[in-house]
Amino acid sequence: MNETLNTLETRRSIRSYRCEQVPEDVLEEILRAGTYAPTGMGMQSPVMVVVQDPGMIGKLSALNAAVMGTDSDPFYGAPTVIVVLADKERGTCVEDGSLVMGNLMNAAASLGIGSCWIHRAREVFAGNEGKELMKTWGLDPEKYIGVGHCILGYAAEQGKAKPRKEGYVIRV
């Protein structure tokens, strides 16, 4: 099996991380893959905000948990969070950001780094605290919407793939 197809089949969402940080050179490769995600008309509506400061990760985790009505860590202790936002004026912004998330996760898996897509970015960055964070990051909170949080780190444990469902593919 070719390397790309193998990565696509073996990547898993990781929900338990070691505290060891992702090396900078590996992170750069993952981010580069994100910048090559397909986007509507090639307009590149998404932006990625890399967060590795434990205090900021804690703040983002708390905001995300509040959307769920809990105080648990929705980032599972991951040492890196990539916030994917997209220009809401582009009709394909959510799709564009989703493809960036996919590229990030598949690139991470190909480099031995665990990842998981954490939802609720839309709600976090629609709120006042999320908008304030965007301002501190130099982004116009009226222009961008949250698409997802891609958490990264070394997996403490790896799950197994569920069997593929019957009827997944329909040929006509």
Mean pLDDT, the chain, rounded, equals 97
Q: pLDDT band at residue 159, thresholds of 50, 70 and 90?
A: confident
Q: What is the pLDDT of residues 7-20, one digit of tens each?
A: 999 999 999 999 99
Mean pLDDT throughout 36-46? 97
Tell which residue, 15, 163, 31, has the closest CA to residue 107.
Answer: 31
Q: pLDDT band at residue 124, thresholds of 50, 70 and 90?
A: very high
**% of the chain exceeding 70 in pLDDT:** 100
- pLDDT of 158: 86
- pLDDT of 59: 98
